[in-house]
Copies of this chain bind each other. A is one copy, B any other.
Amino acid sequence: MAAQLDELDRKILGELQLDSSQSLDEIARKVGSSKTPVWNRIRRMREQGVITRQTAILDAEALGLEACFFVLIRTSEHEAEWQRKFLKTLRDRPEVLEAHRLAGDIDYILKVRVRNARAYDQFYQALISEVKIYNVTALLSMEEIKSTTVLPL
């Protein structure tokens, strides 16, 4: 699964993570190469799936999404049908930005971005009405110290 990347590939990825709107010439100059190899490598990494997509990162506060919760979920249900429905609910809900199945006594963790605490409660009520859940703990973020999509290379 892990692609074999050399130092130049990593430098290119670093630049694209910092600012993907840079021109090929600019990236080439910064990584100490030229346009053609940079272009070929970017194309190759796209095809390999190393580069997933290109996106605009928006400011959640500026959009009025002022509340962020991490939700710890324990469930007693482990049937395939229950899980299928639960996962579909998470994927369909746009306020769920992250969802992971965990090892250990907590089964799932979610990251949820909403307008305010009231909107979180609406999400929570909708969630527990759709699928049976044993125990839920919501952790309210007071301050986003760091939030990045930049992966270490």
Counting CB contacts under 8 A, is A80 at the interface?
no
Q: Give the residues in chain B near A122, CB-CB below 8 Å.
A: none
Of B17, B66, B94, the contact of A150 (CB 8 Å cutoff): B94
Given known pairs A100-B141, A100-B144, A146-B90, the reply for A17 and B61 (CB within 8 Å) is no
From A33-41, A43-51, A127-135, the one touching the partner chain is A43-51
- Say yes or no: B139 contacts A63, CB within 8 Å: no
- Chain copies in the assembled complex: 2
- Taking a contact as CB atoms under 8 Å apart, the answer to whether B55 and A17 are in contact is yes
Task: Note all chain B residues with C-beta closer than 8 A to A5.
Answer: 63
The interface size bin for chain A is 35 or more
Checking B53, B66, B100, B148 against A142 with a beta-carbon cut-off of 8 angstroms, the contacting residue is B100
**Interface residues, chain A, with chain B CB atoms under 8 Å away:** 1-3, 5, 13, 16-21, 48-66, 68, 70, 87, 90-91, 94-104, 106, 108-109, 111, 113, 139-153
